[in-house]
Amino acid sequence: SEVKKIAVIAGDGIGPEVVAEAEKVLKRTEELFGYKFELEHGLFGGIAIDERGTPLPQDTLEMCRKADAVLLGAVGGPKWDNNSKELRPETGLLGIRKALGLFSNIRPAVVFDCLKDASTLKPEVLEGTDLIVVRELTGGIYFGEKFRRQGAHGEEAVDTCVYNVTEIERIVRQAFEVAQKRSKRLASVDKANVLETSRLWRETVNRIAPEYADVEVEHVLVDNCAMQLLRRPSSFDVIVTENMFGDILSDEAAMLTGSIGMLSSASLGEGSFGLYEPVHGSAPDIAGQGISNPIATILSVALMFRLTFGYEEAAAAIEKAVKNVLDAGHRTGDIAVDKSKAIGTTAMGDLIVAAITR
Ligand code: NAD
Ligand code: IPM
Ligand code: MN
């Protein structure tokens, strides 16, 4: 069958550990389903700063541009935390999203029945939770002008939040389309009681909503949403929101599932090209110990299959393998109730690989 090019940028901290497990999954699906993947590896993040003097080397970006999809681990760490903006791993991450036009970040949060006891919330509250955060990824306060200046009371720092109507419209349309394929309920999250960007956001949602008349829209203020996510998580289906709110709410949603180590993501633009990465970061506190949870990255491969390659059967097979391994009681430390029984990163990866069937 057709060869798919996948650019792999593992990054820092636990990035390389979890990506290695996802690569095993890619290899296994080649054997089982007859796919052909051509993997190319590139430097990205802190390691690229160390070796190349920039978090996003030009050749890494070119490699990603030539690929059909990108698999990304995570970037960042204390070593680079005091660097100037240009020499920060996170700047490379924002740069690659922007350069590749990936304005839409899809972050599913699904509660596995057998993991209800891994969450800090009560099991009956979590029952049936299966939501998607659609996060705007290339605008807002992350990308607005930033500067320091001398004010009347000393040094000032300024971050500007800008959204134009085109940016809002394209992400909101994507979210409506996602909602149409699910339970047809969309929560648009903003801070329209205070922020002008949020007022434009809400007006835009209301203006285009009639084009998706089968979808029921609810506007929720972000502070209230943060609260409702803990009070009634299962009542949410698709949540669409701006860049920073989506960043924060998706980490919150992660704890419904038991761990941020469970949350996958897809970053998309207008076409089928996509960048796939776990929602979590480089986890410097556990990096190098072989105890990180690879499931978020493995589930990101399933999203790559479904959303970029159209390999639905294999996507479902990966998700089923994860479910079966969890149902059998295997846990990494972050989702283990009895931490003494926790298994490591490679053991979890191997179990999932072995559980994939056609
Ligand atoms: P983090 O997500 O790296 O870690 C938060 C907590 O969750 C830590 O206790 C960590 O051990 C745990 N955790 C995260 N992923 C895990 C996994 N797969 N298995 C088990 N436990 C896991 O967030 P942080 O500590 O705030 O950030 C650390 C660094 O990562 C920072 O430099 C930050 O900028 C960067 N970061 C990068 C990305 C990315 O590359 N997409 C995302 C978030 C944070
Ligand atoms: C994420 C991360 C990034 C973000 C950081 C590391 C720039 O937290 O992917 O969620 O805020 O987008
Ligand atoms: Mn984040």
Using the mean position of ligand 1's atoms as its centre, give its distance from the Cα of residue 283 in Å: 4
Read off the tokens for 40: 């190319």
Interval 297-322 mean pLDDT: 98
Q: What is the pLDDT of residue 343?
A: 98
Q: What is the pLDDT of residue 243?
A: 99
Q: Over 70: is that where the pLDDT of 1 sits?
A: no
Ligand 1 site residues, Cβ closer than 6 angstroms: 14, 18, 74-77, 90, 93, 260-261, 277, 280-286, 292-293, 296, 334
Using the mean position of ligand 1's atoms as its centre, give its distance from the Cα of residue 16 in Å: 13
Interval 343-352 mean pLDDT: 98
Side chain identity at residue 27, one-letter code:
K
Q: What is the pLDDT of residue 118?
A: 95
Our answer to whether residue 214 is catalytic in this structure is no
Please indicate whether residue 93, judged by its CB atom, sits closer than 6 Å to ligand 2. yes
Of all residues in the chain, the percent with pLDDT exceeding 90 is 100
For ligand 3, an ion, list residues with CB under 5 A: 247
CATH architecture, domain defined by 120-257:
3-Layer(aba) Sandwich (3.40)
How many Å apart are CA 168 and CA 200, to the nearest integer?
Answer: 8
Nearest to residue 269, comparing CAs of 68, 100, 69?
A: 100
pLDDT, tens only, 109-144: 999 999 999 999 999 999 999 999 999 999 999 999
Question: Dihedral angle at the C-alpha atoms of 152, 153, 159, 164, nearest 10 degrees?
Answer: -40
Our answer to whether residue 311 is catalytic in this structure is no
Q: What is the pLDDT of residue 182?
A: 97
Using the mean position of ligand 3's atoms as its centre, give its distance from the Cα of residue 313 in Å: 30
Q: Is there a common fold for 1-105+263-358 and 120-257?
A: yes
Q: List residues bridging with 110 in a β-sheet.
A: 130
Using the mean position of ligand 1's atoms as its centre, give its distance from the Cα of residue 39 in Å: 25
Residue position matching structure tokens 């996507």: 315
Is 86 a known ligand-binding residue? yes
Q: Among the atoms of ligand 2, which is closest to the Cα of residue 250?
A: 10
Interval 283-297 mean pLDDT: 98
List the domain boundaries for the chain.
1-105+263-358, 120-257
Our answer to whether residue 334 is catalytic in this structure is no
DSSP letter (8 states) at residue 309: I
How many Å apart are CA 118 and CA 327, to the nearest integer?
Answer: 13
Q: Over 80: is that where the pLDDT of 164 sits?
A: yes
H or E element at residue 146:
strand 146-151
How does strand 274-278 pair with strand 69-74? parallel
Which residue lies with its CA nearest to atom 3 of ligand 2?
90
Q: What is the pLDDT of residue 123?
A: 96
Side chain identity at residue 206, one-letter code:
N
Our answer to whether residue 247 is catalytic in this structure is yes
Which bound ligand lies closest to the C-alpha atom of 12? 1
Q: How confident is the model at residue 350 (pLDDT cuts 50, 70, 90)?
A: very high
DSSP letter (8 states) at residue 102: -
Please indicate whether residue 12, judged by its CB atom, sits closer than 6 Å to ligand 2. no
Q: What is the pLDDT of residue 320?
A: 98
Which bound ligand lies closest to the C-alpha atom of 105? 2
pLDDT, tens only, 180-239: 999 999 999 999 999 999 999 999 999 999 999 999 999 999 999 999 999 999 999 999
pLDDT, tens only, 34-76: 999 999 999 999 999 999 999 999 999 999 999 999 999 999 9
Q: Among the atoms of ligand 1, which is closest to the Cα of residue 283?
A: 3
Interval 244-271 mean pLDDT: 97
Annotated catalytic residue, options 251, 320, 323, 350: 251
Our answer to whether residue 276 is catalytic in this structure is no
CATH architecture, domain defined by 1-105+263-358:
3-Layer(aba) Sandwich (3.40)
Which residue lies with its CA nearest to atom 4 of ligand 2?
247
